[in-house]
Amino acid sequence: MTNWMEVYLAIIGQTPTKDESSMLALITEADIVVQLVLFGLLAMSVGCWVIILMKWRALSAAESKSQAFLDAFWKSKRLDAMYDQIDRYSGSPIAAVFKAGYVELSRLTQASNEAGGGGGIALTNEDNLERALRRARMSERTEMERNTTFLATTGSTAPFIGLFGTVWGILRAFQKIDVTGQATIQTVGGDISHALIATAVGLAAAIPAVMAFNYFNRRLRVLTSEMDNFSDDFLNIVKRHFGKR
């Protein structure tokens, strides 16, 4: 019976080798439960690799844009000038924090002007600015962490899903021994092979997921720390130049 892999190889003009045919036969002849386990693990692995590639690109862009924003921010002498060119740093979580802080600062100074306060903001109103910065940081962190939990879930569950397929394959092997009364390699070899394949696929899905999760977590901690530091610096600037008692 021709399987999907043989069809694919025929389309690209390749003929499966004897070893490839044997491996494909093992998978296609496996019990439906083992096949479902293998399919589920394959889907999880593909999903992880898609997330890994997308997250790597997103974090790389966030880091480069954030560094460019910080360089420009500390060279600039006016906050409004930085706000006018904020679109240049789209994708930077630090730029997003600055934007939220500047919008809140503008609202507070406008309210102060309307109340005849001369454009400064009272120290009691600085809590509003701090909350706006904190909300922006939390929002950006949540966005950066999106889908990373799937990597952690795959890393922690894939080996057990593979183990389930392994146990199922071994149970079927024991059932065949009970029915035939023979414990030969011809009797149980196929089911044992299916069991080992499930274990291997489970580990193949889990290991990259765990490594990627830890790697991205480290980069996220660095970006989170930079956002926290920038928020503190922004608040200090506001207190020096806009604050009033």
Is the pLDDT score of 121 beyond 80? no
The overall pTM is greater than 0.85 = no
Q: Tell me what pLDDT residue 62 has.
A: 93
Is the pLDDT score of 88 beyond 70? yes
Q: Tell me what pLDDT residue 155 has.
A: 93
Is the pLDDT score of 95 beyond 60? yes
More confident residue, 237 or 244: 237
Q: Tell me what pLDDT residue 110 has.
A: 76
Q: Tell me what pLDDT residue 245 has.
A: 44
Q: Tell me what pLDDT residue 104 has.
A: 87
| DSSP calls for the chain | ---HHHHHHHHTT----HHHHHHHHHHHTS-HHHHHHHHHHHHHHHHHHHHHHHHHHHHHHHHHHHHHHHHHHHH-S-HHHHHHTGGGGTT-HHHHHHHHHHHHHHHHHHHHHHTTSTT-EEGGGHHHHHHHHHHHHHHHHHHHTTTHHHHHHHHHHHHHHHHHHHHHHHHHHHHHHHHH----HHHHHHHHHHHHHHHHHHHHHHHHHHHHHHHHHHHHHHHHHHHHHHHHHHHHHHHHHTEE-
Residue 43 confidence class, pLDDT cut points 50, 70, 90: very high
Q: Tell me what pLDDT residue 64 has.
A: 94
